[in-house]
Amino acid sequence: MRLLVLNQATDTADPILGFATRWLAALARRVERVDVLTMRAGAASLPENVRVFSVGKERGYGEPRRAVEFYRRLGTLVGTEQVDACFSHMIPVFSVMAAPVLRLRGIPLVTWHAHRHVSPLLRLAHHVSDRMATSAPSSYGYRRDKLAVLGQGIDTTAFAPGGRGAEAPPLVLAVGRLSPVKRLETLVDAVRRLHARGDAMRCAVVGEAPVHHRAYANALRAAAGADVEFVGPVPYAELPAWYRRATVHVNLSPTGALDKSALEAMACGRPSVVANAGFAATLGPHADTLLVRDAEPAALADQLASVLAMTPGARATLGAALRERICREHDLDRLAGRIVALLHELGAPA
């Protein structure tokens, strides 16, 4: 199969989207060739059968020129290079733009979307795509008529236990952007309560704020004072080391898409306290320990205290059980196989 992938960024160093290059490498192991049409390109070490074509956002091109570049590249790829199937990852605008061209050529289109927000553009992408794919039932808020639930794609080779292990005093870690939806102010308050109880622990937040949430981030830092260390963004390849240093990871996003950070932490053998009920199936028998039913500071403080009070052996056993579930349900290589199998079902050649 000669696969066309549409995505937001192809840049290994990107703190948020760096994982996309790992997805490309996993897909490349299962198909003859992967051509990537991306909004923005950066440094990426990819297999020889992967080619990357950017529409020029990294070069400062405006939207009109990027649209021209998109159709110029797409026309060449489907017209002369031969494309058998298309997989669009978290960029519904590209799905909508590409769909008429792909349909004329009889090329099946699968659009991946894992986010609680349902925009008019997503609705249109749903209607023009042959199938929609997502990580979990809670990760897709629109219609189910075309939906395939495939699991999330976590590189369980890179995100694995190792290193020196958890730090002392215990480290409570949150990884992700500094935005209101992450409810980090609840974490700050919970940590303050733990410190007031005399619990010996540290808290670190890894991530940066989008431009439109800088005011929120500044207020968060001011409120946290010395209780929380704000590390800032780190390259995607450095995240496993941060997870391994942690005693427990926290993600307070509401029910919806499964945040990768929680799954990555669990893949590294670390418990992850979450507020998203969509994690219940992944947590299985450990949901009572790790799922915060009421994402309020007092409840979170109690939940964190119970995990921190575990013996190292009990936490290691819990972490190993969580990793086993991530490897079974959300492993990247398994996801790549499911994506390719779905494209075969839609008529793409083996």
CATH code reported for the domain at 2-153+331-345: 3.40.50.2000
Give the start-to-end residue ranges of the domains of the chain.
Answer: 2-153+331-345, 171-329
Strand partners, 37: 6, 53
Q: Which two tokens stand for residue 83?
A: 């494309």
CATH class, range 171-329 = alpha beta
- The confidence score (pLDDT) of residue 205 equals 97
End-to-end CA distance of the chain: 6
Residues of the chain with pLDDT under 50: none
pLDDT tens figures, 73-85:
999 999 888 899 9
Q: Does the pTM exceed 0.85? A: yes
Do strands 85-89 and 50-54 pair parallel, antiparallel, or not at all (unpaired)? unpaired
**pLDDT confidence of residue 168:** 81
Element (H, E) at 243: helix 239-245
Amino acid, res. 278: G
Cα 131 to Cα 144: distance, rounded to the nearest angstrom: 10
Q: Summarize pLDDT for 302-314 with one digit per residue, the tens.
A: 999 999 999 999 9
- Do the domains at 2-153+331-345 and 171-329 have one common CATH topology? yes
Tell me what pLDDT residue 249 has. Answer: 98
- Report the C-alpha dihedral over residues 47, 49, 50, 53, rounded to 10 degrees: 140
Cα torsion for 60, 66, 72, 78, to the nearest 10°? 110
Order across the sheet with 2-10: list the strands. Answer: 50-54, 33-41, 2-10, 85-89, 109-112, 131-134, 147-149
What confidence score (pLDDT) does residue 293 get?
A: 83
Separation CA 182–CA 230 (nearest Å): 14
